[in-house]
Structure 1
Amino acid sequence: MSDNFPLGLLLSLLLLLICLSAFFSSSETGMMSLNRYRLSHRANSGEGRAQRVMHLLSRPDRLIGVILIGNNFVNNLAASIATIIAIHFFGEVSGPVISTSLLTIVVLIFAEVTPKTYAAIKPERIAYPASLVLDPLLKVLYPLVWIVNVISNGLLRLLGVKTLENRSDELTREELRTVVHEAGPLIPSRHQAMLVSILDLENVTVNDIMVPRHEVAGIDLDNDLETILAQIRTSQHTRLPVFKGDINNIIGMLHMRNAARFLIKKEITKAAIVQEAREPYFIPESTPLHTQLLNFQKQKRRIGIVVDEYGDVEGLVTLEDILEEIVGEFTTDVADQDRDVHPQGDGSQLIEGTASIREVNKMLGWSLPTDGPKTMNGLILERLESFPVGPTCLQIGEVRIEIIEIRDNLITTARCWLA
Structure 2
Amino acid sequence: MTLLLTYLGLALIISFLCSIVESVLLSAPYSFLNMKEESGHKASAQLKDYKINIDKPLSAILSLNTIAHTVGAAGVGHQVTHAFGSAYFGWVSAALTFLILVFTEIIPKTIGANYWRKMIGFTAGTIKLMIVVMYPIVIVSSWLSKLLTKKSKQGENISITEDEIRVMIKMAQNEGVLDSEESALHNQLFNFNDKKAHHLMTHRTDVEWINISMTFEEISDMLKTSQHSIFPVCEGTLDNTLGILRNKDFFELYNDESLEDDKKDLKGILDEVIYIPETLTSLKVLSIFKEQKHYFGIVLDEYGNSIGVITLHDLAEDILGDLPVDGEEDDPDIVERPDNSFFVDGLTPITDFNDKIDFELIPEESEFATVSGFFTNTLNALPKVGDELVYESYRFEVVEMEGNRIEKFIITKLEEEQGDVEE
TM-score category (smaller protein): 0.7 to 0.9
What is the deviation of 1:336? 6.1
Residue number among 215, 221, 243 corresponding to 2:234 in the alignment:
243
CA distance in 2, matches of 1:343, 1:102: 59
Equivalences for residues 128-167 of structure 1 within 5 A: 128-139=121-132, 141-152=134-145, 154-155=147-148, 157=149, 163=152, 166=155
1:303/1:121 Cα in 2 relative to 1: closer, same or farther (>3 Å)? same
Q: Is the contact made by 2:43 and 2:120 (CA closer than 8 Å) also made in structure 1?
A: no
- 2:159 is aligned to 170
Q: Is the contact made by 1:153 and 1:163 (CA closer than 8 Å) also made in structure 2?
A: no
Q: Say which is worse superposed, 276-285 or 368-377, in terms of deviation.
A: 368-377
- 1:22 is aligned to 16
Q: Say which is worse superposed, 105-114 or 71-80, in terms of deviation.
A: 105-114
1:304 aligns with 2:297: yes
- 2:389 is aligned to 394
- 1:180 is aligned to 169
1:268/1:80 Cα in 2 relative to 1: closer, same or farther (>3 Å)? same
What is the deviation of 1:220? 1.3
Q: How far does the alpha carbon of each residue in 1:4-27 deviate from its partner, in whole angstroms, 9 at most, with x for none?
A: xxx857864664344223322322
Q: Which amino acid aligns with 1:385?
A: N
Residue number among 17, 41, 50 corresponding to 2:44 in the alignment:
50
1:195/1:405 Cα in 2 relative to 1: closer, same or farther (>3 Å)? closer
- 2:200 is aligned to 209
Q: Is the contact made by 2:395 and 2:412 (CA closer than 8 Å) also made in structure 1?
A: yes
Q: Is the contact made by 1:89 and 1:95 (CA closer than 8 Å) also made in structure 2?
A: no
CA distance in 2, matches of 1:373, 1:333: 30
Q: How far does the alpha carbon of each residue in 1:181-232 deviate from its partner, in whole angstroms, 9 at most, with x for none?
A: 2322221111111111111112211111211222221221122343234334
Equivalences for residues 359-378 of structure 1 within 5 A: 359=352, 367-370=361-364, 371-378=366-373
Residue number among 191, 194, 216 corresponding to 2:185 in the alignment:
194
1:50/1:381 Cα in 2 relative to 1: closer, same or farther (>3 Å)? closer
Q: Which amino acid aligns with 1:68?
A: L
Q: Which amino acid aligns with 1:295?
A: I
Secondary structure (helix, strand or coil) at the match of 2:234 reads strand
Q: Say which is worse superposed, 341-350 or 15-24, in terms of deviation.
A: 341-350
Q: Is the contact made by 1:289 and 1:322 (CA closer than 8 Å) also made in structure 2?
A: yes
- 2:419 is aligned to none
What is the deviation of 1:318? 0.7
1:31 aligns with 2:25: yes
User: Unaligned stretches of 5+ in structure 2?
Assistant: 415-423
CA distance in 2, matches of 1:73, 1:88: 22
Q: What percentage of aligned pairs have identical amino acids?
A: 25
Q: Is the contact made by 2:227 and 2:328 (CA closer than 8 Å) also made in structure 1?
A: no
Q: Say which is worse superposed, 28-37 or 210-219, in terms of deviation.
A: 28-37
**What is the TM-score of this pair, normalised by structure 1?**
0.82
1:315 aligns with 2:304: no
What is the deviation of 1:264? 2.2
What is the deviation of 1:359? 4.9
CA distance in 1, matches of 2:225, 2:90: 98
Q: Is the contact made by 2:297 and 2:311 (CA closer than 8 Å) also made in structure 1?
A: yes
CA distance in 1, matches of 2:20, 2:77: 25
1:233/1:116 Cα in 2 relative to 1: closer, same or farther (>3 Å)? closer
What is the deviation of 1:393? 3.0
User: Unaligned stretches of 5+ in structure 1?
Assistant: 1-6
Residue number among 219, 223, 226 corresponding to 1:228 in the alignment:
219
- 2:285 is aligned to 292
What is the deviation of 1:70? 1.6
- 1:4 is aligned to none
- 1:68 is aligned to 62
Q: Which amino acid aligns with 1:48?
A: K
Q: How far does the alpha carbon of each residue in 1:94-143 deviate from its partner, in whole angstroms, 9 at most, with x for none?
A: 68767655654554454444433433333355553243232144245444
CA distance in 1, matches of 2:384, 2:12: 84
1:348/1:32 Cα in 2 relative to 1: closer, same or farther (>3 Å)? closer
1:78/1:345 Cα in 2 relative to 1: closer, same or farther (>3 Å)? closer
What is the deviation of 1:315? 1.3
Q: Say which is worse superposed, 258-267 or 145-154, in terms of deviation.
A: 145-154
Equivalences for residues 373-384 of structure 1 within 5 A: 373-384=368-379
1:260/1:60 Cα in 2 relative to 1: closer, same or farther (>3 Å)? same
* Cα-Cα RMSD: 3.6
**What is the TM-score of this pair, normalised by structure 2?**
0.81
CA distance in 1, matches of 2:237, 2:119: 72
Q: Is the contact made by 2:368 and 2:374 (CA closer than 8 Å) also made in structure 1?
A: yes
What is the deviation of 1:360? 5.2
CA distance in 2, matches of 1:362, 1:102: 54
Q: Which amino acid aligns with 1:38?
A: F
Q: Which amino acid aligns with 1:195?
A: H
Q: Which amino acid aligns with 2:64?
A: G
What is the deviation of 1:268? 3.1
CA distance in 2, matches of 1:323, 1:390: 34
Secondary structure (helix, strand or coil) at the match of 1:395 reads strand
1:44/1:242 Cα in 2 relative to 1: closer, same or farther (>3 Å)? same
CA distance in 2, matches of 1:173, 1:320: 26
Q: Which amino acid aligns with 1:47?
A: H
1:139/1:180 Cα in 2 relative to 1: closer, same or farther (>3 Å)? same
CA distance in 1, matches of 2:337, 2:39: 56
- 1:218 is aligned to 209
Q: Which amino acid aligns with 2:249?
A: N
